Amino acid sequence: MSTQAVPDTQLGLSAEEIQLLRQGQAALGGGSSSSRGASRASSQGLLLLDSSSLSALGRYFDHLMASIEQRIQHLSYEAQRFTQLQYDEADGIIGGADAEIARYTEILQQLDELEVDFDRIAHIKEIRFQPAPQAFFVTSFLLPST
């Protein structure tokens, strides 16, 4: 029985797709005689068109696509997890920064209060050590002593 084959370059595939097709046929080469025939055809740049070869190639690509899809799902999950961790970490950093800003604001308020107190005390000290006003001396002489 003659098996029909077609050059894989006439299938309308890109160079990368032809390479994948050839890899798929080569990967099937260790199985049945039709798989070995498909592998030989692949090495010659041909695609066997018999139903057994095409079915085996279809199953191979289905399995390969399922593996790729599983990997995509895993990487998507990891990317989502990483994004959530970064979001949580940023949220924690922002919360910490807000607390530090509040603490800094409180310290500045305390400094302002201390500066006001310092200025008041300095003013009191200036008044205390200035010579007494003349009225004080006059009244002290006029008041009867006890």
Region of 46 please: left (phi>0), alpha (psi -120 to 50) or beta. Answer: beta
Residue 142 lies in a domain: no
Q: How far apart are CA 141 and CA 138, in angstroms?
A: 5
Least confident of 1-5, 16-20, 92-96: 1-5
The residue segments making up the domain with residue 73 are 5-128
Q: Where are the beta strands (DSSP E) in the chain?
A: 5-7, 46-48
Q: Return the ∠ at Cα 17 (arms to 79 and 75), rounded to 5°.
A: 10
What percent of the chain is predicted at pLDDT more than 90?
A: 44
Residue 95 lies in a domain: yes
In a domain, residue 34? The reply is yes
User: Which token pair is 20?
Assistant: 């994948």
Q: Residue 1, CB half-sphere, CA atoms under 13 Å: how many?
A: 4
Mean pLDDT of 29-42: 63
> If we measure between CA atoms, which residue out of 81, 83, 71, 31 comes closest to residue 52?
31
Choice between 19 and 40, residue whose per-residue pLDDT is larger: 19
Kindly report, residue by residue over 36-78, the tens digit of the pLDDT: 666 676 677 777 777 887 888 899 999 999 999 999 999 999 9
How far apart are alpha carbons 11 and 45 in whole angstroms? 11
| pLDDT-based confidence at residue 34 (cuts at 50, 70, 90) | low
Share in percent of the chain as helix, strand, coil (round to 5): 80, 5, 15
Domain total of the chain: 1
146 occurs within a structural domain: no
